[in-house]
Structure 1
Amino acid sequence: MKKVMAALFLVFVLGFAVVASGCISGGGTTSSSSSSTTTSSSSSTSTATSTAKLPKDVMKIETDKSVIYVGPKDEMASVTPESGGKKVIIVSYVVDKANTPSVSKLMQEGQGFGEINPAFFRDEHVDALVMAARRETDPAIRTELFKGLYILGNKYAPEVILGQNKQLRVYWSWVKGRYYHPTLAERYDLLSEDPNAPVVPIGIGNYKNDPKTYVIGTIGWPESFDPAWTYETFGWEVWHEVGDTLVTYWKEETEQVSPDLAVAWAHNKDGTVWYFVIRDGVKAYDPWDNKVYPINAVDVAFTFWRVQRLGHSVSWMVKTFMDISASQALTEDEFNKILQSGDIIADYKGKSEQVKSLNDLLNLFGYNGKTAGVFKLVLPKPYAPVLGILADPFLSVVSMQYVLGDKYQEALKASDNGKKPDAWAAYVQKGENDATHQLMHKKPVGTGPFYVKEYKENSYIVLEKNPYYWNTANKFGHDRVIYVINNDAGGRVQLFQTATVDTVALPPERINDVKGLTFKGYKDIVQTNLLQPILTFIVFNTQKEPFNNPKVREALAYAIPYDQIIQTVYKGLMVRNWGPIPKPWPGYTEYGITKYTYDPNKAKQMLQEAGIDPTKYKIQLIYNSGNSAREKIMTLLQNVWSQLGFQVTVTSYEWPVYLGKTEKGDYDVYVVGWVPDYLDSDNWVGPFLYGATKFKEVNVQVKG
């Protein structure tokens, strides 16, 4: 969720916020727009013996099952691949220099962990492999390309992985129905409580923690209440409760999505055009003025278009995988004519059928209600995980009428009822000063099971049952949800011990404070057994000295006390990982990688090889306030890196400020985590490594 959860995504897990690779040989590659970009190693580190000299800008990467060659198209012609009995994958590319944004421009726009990776690292080989993996349709070849990216992430170390997190979940036994999903929060209307659960005053107004109120003790604050402007898991969690997306994952589903605001969907043969039939009877509830707004396909088209227009870092998924200008709202009659022409396919619950009418499509999905138009979504190229992206809360559908106010009818007419979405550019501006963003940021309005009733920044958020929620069959387990914000871990322990909250986010160091508790005959539950696809890591600013030198980054990777961090900070609730893909996702590999260990002498040696004098550099380590685990990590690094000769300081910032600084490259080194935005290995290697290089061509050839 995500990044910064989206993921993130950044996430509130293990009691803290988490921001929704092999062998290498070959010559150097230079950035198309940044002179401080990392270059690949000029000496071979491959376990295979190479007898042929590669052209300067061609790289060879060896995995356990393949040999990957990647380089500019004009240089690949002279390469004679050596397979060593393995599959050969050749990736050639042509850079589109004119359309590749400079790294400094992306920094100014705050695109870190968005359009470009959080380290602002750029390498054309890496970027070409990311694009190749996105466009490849053969799962086996995609896996090999992902392995190559894992290898490169491990070698170049723009981010150093501290480990992969285990889940720490603490709650009282009166809470029933809890479940886990790797990208989405639980829906709190689907959880319930023992009707005899105790009733405890919360200390916020007249609210009480009773069996119909789910109270969460946590830290931080959402980046924004505008779904188009939040790229961290707190904001995504809120919107999973107060909004609806076209499709969703029902509870623990991961293999397929379920209908939400879209009751059915279909696509053309090559998967570049998708059609989503919109549910009728959905209303956005405005509690601030006690109004409701009906939702239809135009609102969906506007929602997607607005995300890209605002241009926040989360918009990278829309910009990259969707052509919003070509997407539009259709009527049912217009869609029926498209269906009658043939070649439209629907896939649902293991069935794949060519559909010829809207009725056929709705019957396949088992829907017999009314509809509110059809959203046509155009992709520039097929992308298999696209439905997973559509389930992300940042694409929760908003009411065009609510956000545009008295300009609504004018904007509707200008766009020809959603046929010409770019006409909306006159009504929505880029950036955070846009009026629609300022409205949603302060007074959010959605269609989900809850609505935001009231909040006090850095203190509490109250969500109340939505009286206009479309799913009348839903039996609410809770009538309200209250987030109690307390950035002091000891204070949150006390909230839990007194049953003021039903569940609490705690750092692992406080796990013994909540083990074995009882309250009025109920026990607490402490779960630690689930290895999550969540990576915690430190990020170097590769656009600053000395971090623009890959040997310095490798040296500092040897100056991290991993075992001490895992045991003392995380109390064993973390396992080692060495690259940007979690176990056991496709592309994770231990073949030929560097398994960095704590070795200060090796670090000193590599700093000497890098040719730098550590005493000449000041390093500021930053973390988000209230996160005691991250504070301890940075304090440990301060101690070790100071012994190497660096002048090291540690500073904390409140969560929204922290995100603002890191997204704009205003940092030296920071610590963060990543919860996937959607369930595909591309959502780790892309956000971790992609440097925003644009290409005229990326070609993949497979031999053997």
Structure 2
Amino acid sequence: MMAISGGALAASGFLPSAIAAQVSSHASGDGVIKGGTLFANVTPEPAGLVAGINISSPAVVVSSSIFDGLVTYDKDYKPQPQLAESWEQSADGKSITFHLRKGVKWHDGHPFTSADVQWSILNVVKKTHPRGASNFAKVTAVETPDDHTVILRLTGAAPVLWSVLFGTETQIVPKHLYEGTNPLTNPWNVKPIGTGAFKFKEWVRGSHIVLERNEDYWDTGKPYLDRIIFKMLPDAGARSVALESNEIQFAANNPVAESDVARLAAEPNLVLDTEGWQVPAPIFFFDFNFRRKTFQDVRVRKAFAHAIDRKGLADIVWYGLANVAESCVPSFQKQFFKPGLPQHEFSPEKAEQLLDDAGLKRGPDGVRLRINHITEVSYGQVYLRAAEYMQQQLKHVGIEVELINLELAAMIRRVFGEYDFDTFSQWYSAYPDPQIGVTRRFWSKNIKPGTPSSNDSGYSNPEMDRIIEGIQQEGDVEKRQQYIWQMQELVQTDVASVNLLELKFFGFYSKKLQGLRKGPMLFYSTLADAWLEK
């Protein structure tokens, strides 16, 4: 495949006519080259472009350049000003006051005000976001004494809040376009109006998403690029070729097959980055549908845990780009991870005994149990290979598994909307605090039909709810950590889910791409500072 250019794309019909002509780049006094188009990849195609509503990693990759948050984070994950210029918290932790930046406009020209923040926190973050109800559990009111001041009223100190105030987690949407609607089905989710460095221009399904420079961006002089074109290349081999040929210069979400990583990492014009996902900290797990009577027996769940070789998954299926998960909390969260938890070692013999004890005897055909298993394959063939690997291992202990492989939108509808599945494997981002990305999997109040990345399994345990609500409410750091350790113990002993792997996500970008916000959130950050060398 030849290297791509604006002219070649226009001739091929890929670029819309309005942007077919490349805008010439020019260098500024500080060495930054302004102008030009960045060709990026997003895989799989997102279900929507407002990441705090259509929760998925590909939505975040695009949405982070369209929407700003109250704060952003530096490479040490410390909050820095964005839509909020400054803030202060009361000594008792019961109020946080944000002073909003003046002169910010939504992309349709409406002024951005405190009313947008208030409406979004109360109606989007707390009600529809799969992590929002937990993250903002201690927020009782959002006050707006004037257009540029927001005061959060809390029942007490909430340490988790300072980790979730970025734009795609605490999602701020335009009140004038969302008020009176269901945020989950609002038509602006697919043609978003944000406050960020780039404006939404076009989404051609199955082909590309175009973002254009926001000329009215509050950070004067930025962004440097004229536009970003996110291309959908569904084939991993085609994405490898596109990276090698410079057809795309920025690719997140594990864009190539794991078997291809070492070869591409040796390419002189490419950079492999494995740090840009440390804050999201993805955990791959195997869920049961607790609405099925079979899975209400802990012996059955333990049998599944013993039947799956997690080390084999990491080494064989993921080519070493994963570690065995010992907890629902990733080891990256060193201050929260509890070592020495009970583990379910790979033992088909123990699995067989547990299934016998649960009354699931082998039939004449050797089968004890027939189930289906949902796999979302849009993120890559590695998830299909993982499902096939687990299918083979479960067959050895008498469990016949029918694999149902779905694209992202179909998976969300079936698993999170209809709850029509027996078992399901997926990954969730854990984030820097378990209250953000871990507790949502096990809190009964997070069973939210139609909401992606929530409690799909229907797991409901009063003891777990007590622990999770302790995590949410406890302001004392040491006491809160005790609750977090209790949660990890209970997940392991009750086998609320089988925690399989800590995934080492990766991305590639061209060495000519400068100004990326390096650090543990690189692939979840705005491209406002990015520019291309000639």
Pair in the same fold by TM > 0.5: yes
Of residues 69, 73, 83 in structure 2, which corresponds to 1:261? 83
Match of 2:453 in 1: none
Of residues 394, 415, 419 in structure 2, which corresponds to 1:662? 415
Of residues 192, 210, 223 in structure 2, which corresponds to 1:462? 210
* Structure 1 residue 529, shift from structure 2 partner: 7.5
Unmatched tracts of structure 2, length 5 or more: 26-34, 446-461, 480-534
**Residues 531, 559 of structure 1: CA spacing in aligned structure 2 closer, same or farther, 3 A cutoff?**
farther
**Residues 498, 327 of structure 1: CA spacing in aligned structure 2 closer, same or farther, 3 A cutoff?**
same
Of residues 410, 421, 426 in structure 2, which corresponds to 1:672? 426
* Structure 1 residue 634, shift from structure 2 partner: 0.5
Q: Equivalents in 2 of 1:442, 1:656: separation in Å?
A: 13
Of residues 236, 248, 258 in structure 2, which corresponds to 1:489? 236
Q: Equivalents in 2 of 1:653, 1:560: separation in Å?
A: 22
Is the 1:284–1:398 Cα contact (8 Å) retained in structure 2? no
* Structure 1 residue 260, shift from structure 2 partner: 0.8
Q: Indicate the SS of the match to 1:469.
A: coil
Unmatched tracts of structure 1, length 5 or more: 1-196, 287-291, 332-371, 405-426
Match of 2:271 in 1: 525
**Residues 530, 262 of structure 1: CA spacing in aligned structure 2 closer, same or farther, 3 A cutoff?**
closer
Match of 1:223 in 2: 47
Is it true that 1:567 corresponds to 2:390 in the alignment?
no
Q: Equivalents in 1 of 2:173, 2:332: separation in Å?
A: 36
TM-score by length of 1: 0.55
Q: Equivalents in 1 of 2:313, 2:262: separation in Å?
A: 18
Q: Equivalents in 2 of 1:515, 1:228: separation in Å?
A: 32
Is the 1:282–1:447 Cα contact (8 Å) retained in structure 2? yes
* Structure 1 residue 558, shift from structure 2 partner: 1.4
Is it true that 1:381 corresponds to 2:156 in the alignment?
yes
Of residues 287, 295, 299 in structure 1, which corresponds to 2:112? 295
Amino acid at match of 1:466: N
* Structure 1 residue 625, shift from structure 2 partner: 2.9
Amino acid at match of 1:238: V
Aligned-pair identity (%): 21
Of residues 616, 638, 642 in structure 1, which corresponds to 2:395? 642
Q: Within 5 A, what are the aligned runs for 1:385-400?
A: 385-400=160-175
Q: Indicate the SS of the match to 1:327.
A: strand
Match of 1:42 in 2: none
Match of 1:690 in 2: 443
Is the 1:558–1:598 Cα contact (8 Å) retained in structure 2? yes
Of residues 315, 323, 329 in structure 1, which corresponds to 2:144? 329
Is the 1:540–1:669 Cα contact (8 Å) retained in structure 2? yes
Q: Indicate the SS of the match to 2:350.
A: helix
How large is the RMSD of aligned CA atoms in angstroms?
3.1
* Structure 1 residue 313, shift from structure 2 partner: 3.1
Of residues 104, 108, 123 in structure 2, which corresponds to 1:306? 123
Amino acid at match of 1:564: G
- Deviation string 1:592-624 (CA, Å, 9 cap, x unpaired) is 522x33322221122122232363532111212
Is the 2:135–2:160 Cα contact (8 Å) retained in structure 1? no
Q: Equivalents in 1 of 2:341, 2:250: separation in Å?
A: 42
Over alpha carbons, which structure has the higher Rg?
1
* Structure 1 residue 261, shift from structure 2 partner: 0.9
**Residues 312, 524 of structure 1: CA spacing in aligned structure 2 closer, same or farther, 3 A cutoff?**
closer
Match of 2:37 in 1: 213
Q: Equivalents in 2 of 1:295, 1:531: separation in Å?
A: 30
Q: Within 5 A, what are the aligned runs for 1:198-597?
A: 199=5, 201-202=8-9, 204-205=14-15, 206=20, 212-250=36-74, 252-254=75-77, 256-286=78-108, 292-307=109-124, 311-317=128-134, 320-323=137-140, 326-331=141-146, 372-401=147-176, 403=177, 427-430=179-182, 432-433=184-185, 437-438=186-187, 440-474=188-222, 476-504=223-251, 505-512=255-262, 514-517=264-267, 523-527=269-273, 532=278, 533-585=281-333, 586-594=335-343, 596-597=344-345
Is the 1:465–1:480 Cα contact (8 Å) retained in structure 2? yes
* Structure 1 residue 318, shift from structure 2 partner: 5.9
- Deviation string 1:407-437 (CA, Å, 9 cap, x unpaired) is xxxxxxxxxxxxxxxxxxxx5244645xxx2
- Deviation string 1:340-360 (CA, Å, 9 cap, x unpaired) is xxxxxxxxxxxxxxxxxxxxx
* Matched length: 424
Q: Equivalents in 2 of 1:220, 1:297: separation in Å?
A: 34
TM-score by length of 2: 0.72
Amino acid at match of 2:399: F
- Deviation string 1:273-316 (CA, Å, 9 cap, x unpaired) is 21111111101113xxxxx1111112221222231576353542
Is the 1:247–1:387 Cα contact (8 Å) retained in structure 2? no
